[in-house]
Structure 1
Amino acid sequence: MPDYIYSDDSIVVVSKPAGLLSVPGRGEDKQDCLWRRVQQRFPTARIVHRLDQATSGLLILALSAETHRNLSIQFQQRIPTKRYQAIIAGVPQQDSGRIELPLRCDWDNRPRQIVDSIDGKPAITDWSCIETYQDRSRVHLSPITGRSHQLRVHMQAMGHPIVGDQFYACEPFISASDRLLLHAEHLGVRHPISGEWMDFDSSCPF
């Protein structure tokens, strides 16, 4: 079940476990998802944004059409702040940086995404190294844009795929973890009714 971080009459903030879909997929076997689980407790809950099935961490849901509209506009305008924690293969030569590589769907290998300087949509990720180990590093990742698989593809393109990534890593880093080591640990957003800035955090589970 999701971990409930905060709720009021307008919003609910939860931390999604890894392996759970954000919304239903195609087929009877893909109907269980975070949104439906939250609706069991908050029947009017509406999804505002998503996380990959393999990613854990913070999501905000709206409890009315009005708050859903407000939050959706905030995300479109890139107002919310998001920070992820990840463990990546190898040790980067720099301590921090910005990745600007346009992305698009790899139509022959969906749902994989690829870098495409011609047809890709702009994608920007800021990153910084927290800690280094012998053959891997712990990093903070802050997506400025919100493209599908953005953090995963950007880390791969940098030469440091996320450990446990079944799509973009290679051995031995795929089997080094039984899950994708990517967690949405911080979310900042304006309350859709009061306008107050609110910060939410979820401890990294790895």
Structure 2
Amino acid sequence: MTEEETFRRFEVGEADTGQRVDKFLAGREKEWSRMAVQSWIRNDRVRVDGRSVKSNHRLNEGEWVEVSVPPPEEAAVLAEPIPLAIIYEDSDVIVIDKPRGMVVHPAPGNPSGTLVNALLAHCGDLSGINGVIRPGIVHRIDKDTSGLIMAAKHDTAHQSLAEQLKEHTVDRVYQALVLGNIPHDRGTVDAPIGRDPKNRQRMAVEPKNGKPAVTHFEVTERFGTATLVRCRLETGRTHQIRVHMKAIGHPVAGDPVYSSNPKRWPIDGQALHAAVLGFDHPRTGERLRFETPLPTDIETCLTRLREGLA
């Protein structure tokens, strides 16, 4: 096993007894496709209790499945002249108002048309700390979440911004339209988040195996059947606001993963917008703060609620 490879080990539980080993492994991580797992098996990267197996091997409770995951093959990312809503830019950092539907960086199924493709065309060079697939990307927001995101143009700026995120000194405030009437004006959700053991494509509150996650929220408008809130992130876990609001019984409106009847809302994705972004400039130390208004589709939802049409 080389230094770039990752070694993982899983115990077969009662519920997994009789399952094919390729299907078992493909369900462990979101990024692992069944085709990729079968390739690892053919190349003797998968062992069951120390033995080589075939893809159709059926598992028994108590067995240990070991896998040596090869490093991802990173292809060059092409620059694409995609229009960007630039909120701020200098020689160190750029802040973009990302539209709903745009993926932040290339990934399986989304090799082009991403924010990174657009940034490469606009900026030329970006920091290389996160490799060729995620150049310049310091933090991410979901494909179907709109709003502010920053990128670093060189490694020094990237290191500064990443450290601020680690120290929780970056201001990240989201506006979210959530289902139901939140009775109290403000609150804090302090609940660890990890992969949902029942569905590896989702995240969930996981008290035992999750990572610490804290979201502060404040009600800004009530509609009876829904509530508009401002959420401030203290941490930045995957799907954090979406998972936390669902956990307290108020999932984000239109969320195709964590809420019911998302098609009820005239919006393609969750009604979640990264409205405020604040950080210390990586070169000057000056405090910068940016705010962007809600996109038209969320405003349409609010108008319908105010008129009693939703």
Superposed pair shares fold, TM > 0.5: yes
Aligned-partner SS, 1:19: coil
- Compare relative contact order (CA 8 Å, sep 6+) and give the higher one, 1 or 2: 1
* Alignment partner, residue 5 of structure 1: 87
> With structure 1 as the length reference, what TM-score do the two structures score?
0.95
Q: How big is the shift at 1:76? A: 1.4
What amino acid is aligned across from residue 35 of structure 1 in structure 2? V
Q: How big is the shift at 1:36? A: 1.3
* Alignment partner, residue 140 of structure 1: 230
* Alignment partner, residue 187 of structure 1: 277
Q: How big is the shift at 1:174? A: 4.5
- CA 164–198 in structure 1, closer or farther in 2 if over 3 Å, else same: same
CA RMSD of aligned residues (A): 1.3
Q: Provide structure 2 residue ranges, at least 5 long, that are not aligned to the other structure.
A: 1-82, 127-135, 299-310
* Alignment partner, residue 167 of structure 2: 77
Identity of aligned residues (%): 34
C-alpha separation in 2, matches of 1:34 and 1:84:
19
Q: Give matches, 1:121-160, under 5 Å.
A: 121-160=211-250
- CA 2–109 in structure 1, closer or farther in 2 if over 3 Å, else same: farther
Aligned-partner SS, 2:243: helix
For the 8 Å contact 2:142–2:239, the answer to whether it is kept is yes
Choose which of 118, 126, 129 in structure 2 pairs with 1:37.
118
Would you say 1:102 and 2:185 are equivalent positions? no
What amino acid is aligned across from residue 23 of structure 1 in structure 2? H
What amino acid is aligned across from residue 4 of structure 1 in structure 2? I
C-alpha separation in 2, matches of 1:107 and 1:35:
31
Q: How big is the shift at 1:74? A: 1.1
What amino acid is aligned across from residue 117 of structure 2 in structure 1? R
* Alignment partner, residue 175 of structure 1: 264
Q: Give matches, 1:85-100, under 5 Å.
A: 85-100=175-190
Aligned-partner SS, 2:251: coil
* Alignment partner, residue 62 of structure 2: none
* Alignment partner, residue 21 of structure 1: 103
C-alpha separation in 1, matches of 2:97 and 2:201:
23
Aligned-partner SS, 1:73: helix
Q: How big is the shift at 1:108? A: 5.1
For the 8 Å contact 1:163–1:177, the answer to whether it is kept is no
> Which range moves more in the overlay, 140-149 or 18-27?
18-27
Q: How big is the shift at 1:55? A: 0.5
Aligned-partner SS, 1:111: strand
C-alpha separation in 1, matches of 2:90 and 2:206:
42
Aligned-partner SS, 1:110: strand
Q: Provide structure 1 residue ranges, at least 5 long, that are not aligned to the other structure.
A: none
Aligned residue pairs total: 204
**Which one has the bigger strand percentage?**
1
For the 8 Å contact 2:196–2:206, the answer to whether it is kept is no
Q: How big is the shift at 1:32? A: 2.0
For the 8 Å contact 1:163–1:174, the answer to whether it is kept is no
What amino acid is aligned across from residue 121 of structure 2 in structure 1? Q
